[in-house]
Amino acid sequence: MSKKAKVLIVDDDALNRIVLEQTLSDEHQIYLVDSGEAALAFLATTQVDLIILDIVMPGIDGYEVLVKLKENSQTHSIPIIFISANQSHDDEAKGLELGAMDYITKPFCASIVRVRVRNQLLIKQKNDLLERLASIDGLTELPNRRYLDENLTREWRKCKRSDTTLSVLLIDIDYFKRYNDNYGHRAGDDCLTKVAQCMAAQCERGSDFIARYGGEEFAAVLPAVSKDQAIVFAEKLRNAVNKLAISHQASLHANHITISIGVASTADTAIASAEQLLEHADLALYAAKQAGRNQVMAH
């Protein structure tokens, strides 16, 4: 692992927590809690790479904690290793059926604990890499349509829970087909990549992202941003692309690459879903094109 992985140990026995911490702290960053309730509260605010979870605890036991974690989209992919003093294969089978990745029995053998934790973290690292690759557009290296759809839905739900505004931009490179016809598809790919990276560089907040929507279209998702603020950001994108000054002699209105942008926001009470938010942004984009392109319009 290139950096220390974060491991949460959940056990009501203080001695067990000490032993596991001493066993793993040289290689990993360790967090300790003494109950299932404390584990759930901790994970609501902190991300970890692996959980070592005792089965038998007062209050919420390990099985119930595991079920709750698997039901939560924010925690369902965290690998969990069960620990128990019970040697019963039935307990082990139940844990694995519920979604645990491994099972360690007490008393602990330090070398086995270290190897099993290391193995599960390596598996997670590979799975995370595959997941990232599946969510990246191969040409522009921006998030792809799959990532956009999944995360827009998530941000929609979050804004509804927190009663905040979510804004979306749809962005189109003006007369891009004419660019491809005039300069060739390899130049077209280079143009797409330059525009994509230029726009991504304008995102200063970690919560904002720009994804490839399809072809020469892109989408920006801006959580907790008002419509007016989204318009300002859209103008920032438009100006940044203009400053690239990518020659486009086949354009019908400029001698360089430009973009048109449509803006929509949940501040519009007529919007009832994430899909409708995109539809409104698409209508605004159409209006921007009809008005002459190289401009921002809000629905």
Q: Is the pTM higher than 0.85?
A: no
Q: What is the CATH number of domain 6-134?
A: 3.40.50.2300
Strand positions, DSSP E, 122-200: 166-173
Q: 145-298: CATH homologous superfamily?
A: Reverse transcriptase/Diguanylate cyclase domain (3.30.70.270)
State how beta strands 80-84 and 50-54 pair: parallel
The number of beta carbons lying within 10 Å of the beta carbon of residue 250 is 15
**Domains 6-134 and 145-298 equal at CATH topology level:** no
Measured CA distances, 127 to 49, 107, 233 (Å) = 12, 30, 34
Tell me whether the omega of the peptide bond preceding residue 107 falls within 30 degrees of 0, making it cis.
yes
Closest CA to 19 of 106, 119, 117: 106
Closest CA to 146 of 238, 219, 82: 219
Q: What is the DSSP letter of 26?
A: T
> Which residues is 256 bridged to in the sheet?
247
> At how many degrees (to 10) do helices 145-162 and 274-290 cross?
110
* Average pLDDT, consecutive stretches of 10 residues, N- to C-terminus, the chain (299 residues): 84 95 96 97 95 93 94 91 79 84 90 94 91 91 94 91 94 98 97 98 93 97 96 98 98 96 88 93 97 96
Distance, CA of 194 to CA of 243 (rounded, Å): 12
Residue 217 bears catalytic tag: no
Tally the residues of the chain. 299
> At how many degrees (to 10) do helices 14-24 and 110-134 cross?
70
State how beta strands 217-223 and 166-173 pair: antiparallel
Q: What pLDDT score was predicted for residue 1? A: 45
- The amino acid sitting at 28 is H
1 with 25: CB under 8 angstroms? no
Closest CA to 17 of 31, 38, 5, 37: 31
Task: Tell me the pLDDT tens digit for each residue of 191-215.
Answer: 999 999 999 999 999 899 999 999 9
Exposure class string for 170-180: b at 16+ Cβ within 10 A, else e: bbbbbbbeebb
Q: What pLDDT score was predicted for residue 161? A: 87
Handedness of CA 286, 290, 294, 299 (dihedral sign): negative
Q: What pLDDT score was predicted for residue 87? A: 67
Burial class (CB in 10 A: 0-12, 13-18, 19+), 145: middle
159 with 166: CB under 8 angstroms? yes
Domain range list for the chain: 6-134, 145-298
Q: Single out the catalytic residue among 64, 71, 216, 275.
A: 216
Q: What is the DSSP letter of 116?
A: H
294 with 259: CB under 8 angstroms? yes
Contacts of 16 (CB under 8 A, 6+ apart): 54, 83, 106, 108
**Six-digit token pair at 66?**
């595991």
Torsion of CA 239, 241, 244, 250, to 10 degrees: -110
Q: What pLDDT score was predicted for residue 194? A: 98
